[in-house]
Structure 1
Amino acid sequence: MGRKVKQLKNYTSEEVKALIDNDDKHKVGVKLCAVYQMGKGKSSRVLEDFFQVSFKQICNWATRFDNEGIEGLVDKPRSGRKPNISAEQKAELSTILKSSSEAMGYNSGSWSGTLVKDLLKNHFGLEYSISHTYNLLHLLGFSFQRTKGVYPERDETKREVVRAEIKKT
């Protein structure tokens, strides 16, 4: 019979992984540990299971460490398309979305993706697709909530009369 494995009580493995992924110093430490193990003679194929990355990635870490030292293990900024919306515009959009859409002149009690897309075009001069508009809302911490329709032309007294007639039959 083997020994009992120590289990974490306050953290899940996903939470620990997130802690490592969110701090650059921890990432460098993990990479350095992998390079150290390779230096001690362990195969990158054996290490790939332990570090949960491909053996090729571990070999790349070792090569970069060999060429550049510890700085080679630091993640470099990646290229990509620059965002159309600036940080100031994101903050302003977030503030606007916390108020009602009627305050911005829309004839709706709540914000929809189409309204936000229109707001981005008219207020900020930015052209976004509807799907990217939802991605932006998610990035700002807003979630989609289905609204319940309220119709001002609905007459409650007429509804009560109809309900009473239905109950009689």
Structure 2
Amino acid sequence: MGRHVKQLINYTTSDVKAFIDNEDKYKVGIKLYAILQLTKGKPSRELEELYGTSFKQILNWAARFDSQGIEGLRDKPRSGRPARITSEQLEALRLVLLDSPEKQGYNSGTWSGPLVQDFIKNQLGVEYKLANIYNLLHSIGFSYQRAKGVYPERDENKRAQVKADIKKV
């Protein structure tokens, strides 16, 4: 009979990971604790599973800490591809998405990925792949929700009408 493992009720593993990833102090603390384990003689290969990273990354942390101190453990800003649309345009898009697409001239009651893609292309002059549209929506606080289809076949009156139309042909 094994020991009981404590299960969290209000948080998932991904929630806890998000807390760690979003707070620089936690990340530095975890790196420091890994380095502490190294100084106590733990092999980096044993630590890689515990810290969820490669042994080489743990050794890199130790080398940076040794040469730069605590500042070597802080994440540096990374360069990347410049954004295609500005933060002001993103905020304007967020405000537009809060309203119905019908107000923007679309024949739909809800926003979909392809509608947002078309809106950005027409209004902002920027083309995005559909997968990036969903990433963009997530970055401004929206999430994808699968639409529930409306099937006319389920309405008995419409179903009878369709059957009658088929028989006429």
TM-score where L is the length of structure 1: 0.76
Q: 2:124 matched to which residue of 1?
A: 124
Q: Percent identity?
A: 49
Q: Which residue of 1 aligns with 2:6?
A: 7
Q: In terms of mean alpha carbon deviation, does 69-78 or 117-126 score higher?
A: 117-126
Q: Which amino acid aligns with 1:27?
A: K
CA distance in 1, matches of 2:115, 2:149: 17
Structure 1 residue 73, shift from structure 2 partner: 0.3
Do the aligned partners of residues 104 and 15 (structure 1) sit closer, same or farther apart at CA in structure 2, a change above 3 Å counting?
closer
Q: Distance in 2 between matches of 1:35 and 1:15?
A: 25
Residues 159 and 59 (structure 1 numbering): CA distance in 2 closer, same or farther, change over 3 Å? closer
1:43-81 per-position Cα deviation (integer Å, ceiling 9, x unaligned)? 111222322221111100000001111000001122221
| Bigger shift: residues 13-22 or 45-54 | 13-22
- Aligned pair count? 160
Cα separation, 1, equivalents of 2:56 and 2:20: 20
CA-based RMSD? 3.2
Range 141-150 or range 40-49, more displaced: 141-150
Match of 1:84 in 2: 84
5+ residue gaps, structure 2, are: 165-169
- Which residue of the partner structure matches residue 16 of structure 2? 16
Q: TM-score, normalised by structure 2?
A: 0.76
What is the CA–CA distance in structure 2 between the aligned matches of 1:145 and 1:14, rounded to whole Å? 22
Quick one: which amino acid aligns to residue 6 of structure 2?
Answer: Q
Alignment correspondent of 1:28: 28
Q: Deviation digits for residues 10-58 of structure 1, max 9, x if unmatched? A: 4454443332222110110010111112122221112223222211111
| Equivalent residue, structure 2, for 1:145 | 146
1:135 is aligned to 2:145: no
Q: CA deviation at 1:129?
A: 2.3
Q: Which moved more, 1:139-148 or 1:75-84?
A: 139-148
Gaps (5+ residues) in structure 1? none
